[in-house]
């Protein structure tokens, strides 16, 4: 099997972007997710247990992971892994602490006040694999924001237990509530609550199609961060970039999922051919070559465009989860890029280091959502209620304006409530 990186022009890439936007979701999966969500909402824990048995093939009677299991997992870690988790957690804490906002925003009598959410649910993908990095990336922003109660859900392993790496990461962050529940049933349990699970205010974290569709289904009853799709990387590279490094970065994201995207955009056709050659060699030798090959056949390409202005335009149109700038010319456009979830500049800033320890969360917008949001952050766990406490002088100044607008809208009750206070001194406690 030979894995190749197709070479296309800007016009073909635009067409691929258009087709991405027209992709139709699997109606069968949507129907199943809706059934799961409604069932969990109605029957609670019993439905969670039954769907876990049906979909994951294990009967999990008690979903809560006890403290002893988490501590044992932590103590059983290879010291190198333990130290790596500690180092990553420390750097993530330091980065997210810079986002904390405690000041009211507004005038003295009308303002917004930052308040952390009361309770958040963090979903960590898993099952056969383990992603302790995702636990760190989701939980730490919530903790730094000041969320009092955090519930973490992760799919059961084939034995029905929690993966030791995820349990260890939960122990490191002092997570009291780690539950072995995956898929749509986990999202529904977090959103609506069950007999043993208290409902949350917001659900965050990436997952498979079942998780993503379930988040869309429960939105409104609960807040969500985003609807995450397959991983995406776009590399804008100039001819002096290292083609082997560009190829390595493309492959690093394709190994996630057969539906992942990996695109190199350059204005140099010779360089595009070099990247394609390096890509083929590395992809065929990669440990997850079958996944990479499937993804490359559908969503990987080297795009040759006419200028760097066009390269920036194409990248903004795609709005990738990850955007990498490599090569002197490409890197000079750092401040000109738009519509990217995370931007990595230079050969010493590979996208994959952002998955673990760079600082910002690796939970990022996909499928064009980078046009309107960035990575999961402290701000995702803060609400800003407004407060109004007008002085007599302020009320007297603005009440006539409000009355005029209320009358214009035909809302007599609104107008009357304001008129009742006009010309009178309001008693204050």
Residues belonging to the active site: 321-322
Q: Is the dihedral of CA 137, 142, 148, 150 positive or negative?
A: negative
Cα distance between residue 332 and residue 160, in whole Å: 50
Distance CA 140, CA 414 (A): 44
Q: How far is it, in rounded angstroms, from Cα 66 to Cα 171?
A: 10
Helix axes 183-192, 45-56, angle to 10 degrees: 170
Q: 129, 350, 326, 370: which is closest to 253 by C-alpha?
A: 350
Which backbone phi and psi does 368 adopt, to 5 degrees? Answer: 90, -5
Report whether 124 contacts 153 (CB < 8 A). Answer: yes
E strand map for 93-210 = 105-106, 110-112, 115-116, 119-123, 149-154, 177-180, 202-204
CB atoms within 10 A of CB 300: 26
Distance between CA 90 and CA 109 in Å, rounded? 39
CB atoms within 10 A of CB 363: 23
421 burial via Cβ count (<10 Å: 0-12, 13-18, 19+): middle
């Amino acid at each position: 099997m030979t894995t190749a990186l197709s070479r296309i022009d800007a016009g073909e890439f635009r067409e691929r972007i258009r087709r991405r936007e027209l992709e139709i979701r699997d109606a069968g999966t949507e129907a199943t997710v809706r059934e799961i969500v409604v069932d969990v909402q109605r029957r609670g824990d019993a439905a969670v247990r039954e769907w876990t048995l049906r979909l994951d093939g294990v009967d999990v009677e008690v979903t809560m992971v006890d403290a002893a299991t988490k501590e044992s997992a932590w103590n059983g870690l290879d010291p190198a892994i333990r130290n790596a988790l500690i180092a990553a957690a420390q750097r993530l804490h330091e980065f997210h602490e810079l986002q904390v906002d405690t000041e009211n925003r507004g005038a003295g009598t009308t303002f917004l006040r930052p308040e952390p959410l009361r309770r958040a649910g963090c979903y960590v993908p898993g099952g056969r694999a383990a992603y302790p990095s995702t636990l760190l990336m989701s939980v730490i922003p919530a903790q730094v924001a000041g969320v009092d109660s955090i519930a973490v859900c992760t799919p059961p392993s084939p034995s029905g237990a929690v993966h030791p790496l995820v349990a260890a990461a939960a122990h490191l962050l002092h997570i009291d509530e780690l539950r072995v529940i995956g898929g749509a049933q986990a999202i529904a349990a977090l959103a609506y609550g069950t007999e043993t699970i208290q409902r949350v205010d917001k659900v965050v974290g990436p997952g498979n199609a079942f998780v993503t569709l379930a988040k869309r289904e429960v939105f409104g009853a609960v807040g969500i961060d985003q609807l995450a799709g397959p991983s995406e990387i776009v590399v804008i590279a100039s001819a002096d970039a290292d083609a082997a490094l560009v190829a390595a970065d493309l492959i690093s994201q394709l190994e996630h999922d057969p539906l992942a995207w990996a695109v190199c955009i350059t204005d140099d056709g010779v360089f595009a051919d070099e990247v394609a050659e390096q890509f083929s060699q590395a992809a065929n030798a990669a440990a997850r070559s079958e996944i990479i090959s499937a993804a490359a056949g559908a969503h990987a390409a080297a795009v040759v465009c006419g200028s760097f202005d066009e390269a920036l335009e194409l990248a903004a149109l795609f709005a990738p989860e990850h955007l990498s700038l490599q090569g002197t010319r490409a890197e000079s456009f750092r401040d000109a890029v738009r519509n990217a979830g995370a931007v990595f500049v230079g050969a010493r800033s590979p996208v994959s280091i952002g998955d673990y320890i760079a600082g910002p969360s690796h939970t990022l917008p996909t499928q064009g959502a980078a046009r309107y949001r960035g990575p999961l952050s402290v701000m995702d766990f803060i609400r800003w209620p407004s407060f109004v406490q007008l002085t007599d002088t302020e009320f007297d100044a603005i009440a006539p304006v409000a009355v005029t607008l209320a009358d214009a809208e035909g809302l007599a009750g609104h107008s009357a409530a304001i008129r009742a206070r006009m010309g009178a001194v309001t008693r204050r406690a």
